[in-house]
Amino acid sequence: MYNLLKGKKGIIFGALDENSIAWKTAERVHEEGGTFVLTNAPIAMRMGQIKELAEKTGSEIIPADATNLDDLQTLVEKSMEILGGKIDFVLHSIGMSVNVRKGRHYTDQNYDFTTKGWDVSAVSFHKVLQTLYKNDAMSEWGSIVALSYMAAQRSFPDYNDMADNKAYLESIARSFGYFYGKEKKVRVNTISQSPTPTTAGQGVKGFDGFIAYADMMSPLGNATASECADYTLTLFSDLTKKVTMQNLYHDGGFSNTGVSNEVMEKFIK
């Protein structure tokens, strides 16, 4: 351990169970000396094991619906009270598509479902940023990270409307990141992670096949949830103080690989 986050304080959204990237990140932040508040929507808290994580890391839990501004205001106020001051890092690890859950094809969306998924997966990031900004809750050189996926840039048919949500999420990081950096010296970035077998990720049709394909395509192989947690820590640390408004690929090289020998072998007779 390197004590990379010694003395730093933060908020971690979205830890559901031990498979989730937010869960792995919380464990690593704790190991590196950081303290934090855990938060998730009440319904997600009932589904997951967040209390176990809180006990393991000595953290408090504040339930909050990230789409609700009143909940976010309470979360920020209570977090600063519990942590004893301004916040140094925030992880937004939230995503959901009702269309995917209900088996609706991208060409046959229920737009009420679309709006709900967009709000949870993308607009909630703007709401989190805006609440932090208006409360002047972030320390100078603080870091805010959201998790994305390369379907924001390329077509993955079964990723459905989540691809649109991730594209919007990344745009928010650039747009809000400009103002947050210029006015408060706060960094805002997204990490475009390899397909990862989290509880949410496995809900995507054909996920097992695609994770195998991505692993075969990536020179370094797929990045795991634990490795993503390590990468996120570097963005929370003072070692990346001038990195902002970026979408950072953490995918073993998948994003820059046209085709691999292993994939070609499947088509050569």
In the predicted model, is pLDDT for residue 7 greater than 90?
yes
In the predicted model, is pLDDT for residue 70 greater than 80?
yes
In the predicted model, is pLDDT for residue 136 greater than 70?
yes
Is 154 contained in some domain?
Answer: yes
Q: Does the annotation flag 24 for ligand binding?
A: no
Contact between residue 170 and residue 189 where contact means Cβ atoms under 8 Å apart: no
Q: What percent of the chain has pLDDT over 70?
A: 97
Which two structure tokens, joined as six digits, stand for 215? 């692993």
Number of other CB atoms surrounding residue 175 within 10 Å: 14
State the CATH number of the domain containing residue 99.
Answer: 3.40.50.720
- Count of the separate structural domains present in the chain: 1
Q: Does the annotation flag 21 for ligand binding?
A: yes
Domain that holds residue 180: 9-265
Return the pLDDT at 197. 87
Phi and psi at 237, nearest 5°, equal -85, 170
Distance of CA 139 to the CA centre of its chain: 20
Report how far residue 5's alpha carbon sits from residue 233's, in angstroms, rounded to the nearest whole number.
8
Report which of residues 266 and 29 the model is more confident about. Answer: 29
Is 79 contained in some domain?
Answer: yes
Q: Which residues pair with 145 in a beta bridge?
A: 91, 189
Q: Considering the entire predicted model, what is its pTM?
A: 0.96
In the predicted model, is pLDDT for residue 109 greater than 80?
yes
Instruction: Please identify which residue in the block is written with the tokens 């997204």.
Output: 190
In the predicted model, is pLDDT for residue 269 greater than 90?
no
Return the pLDDT at 48. 76
Which two structure tokens, joined as six digits, stand for 9? 């304080």
Report which of residues 269 and 58 the model is more confident about. Answer: 58
Q: Tens digits of per-residue pLDDT, 147-172?
A: 999 999 999 988 999 999 999 999 99
Q: Find, among 148, 112, 119, 113, the residue nearest to 246 by Cα.
A: 148
Return the pLDDT at 201. 59
Tell me the mean pLDDT in the region 112-119: 98
Report how far residue 21's alpha carbon sits from residue 199's, in angstroms, rounded to the nearest whole number.
10
Is 3 contained in some domain?
Answer: no
Tell me the mean pLDDT in the region 126-154: 98
Q: How high is the mean pLDDT of the chain?
A: 95
Return the pLDDT at 198. 77
Residues with catalytic annotation? 149, 159
Q: Which pLDDT band holds residue 63 (cuts at 50, 70, 90)?
A: very high
Number of other CB atoms surrounding residue 227 within 10 Å: 19
Is 1 contained in some domain?
Answer: no
Tell me the mean pLDDT in the region 39-50: 86
Is 25 contained in some domain?
Answer: yes
Rg of the chain over Cα atoms, rounded to whole angstroms, equals: 18
Q: Does the annotation flag 166 for ligand binding?
A: yes
Q: Tens digits of per-residue pLDDT, 168-221?
A: 999 999 999 999 999 999 999 999 999 998 766 556 667 788 899 999 999 999
Q: Find, among 221, 245, 251, the residue nearest to 151 by Cα.
A: 251
Tell me the mean pLDDT in the region 29-48: 91
Is 174 contained in some domain?
Answer: yes
Is 4 contained in some domain?
Answer: no
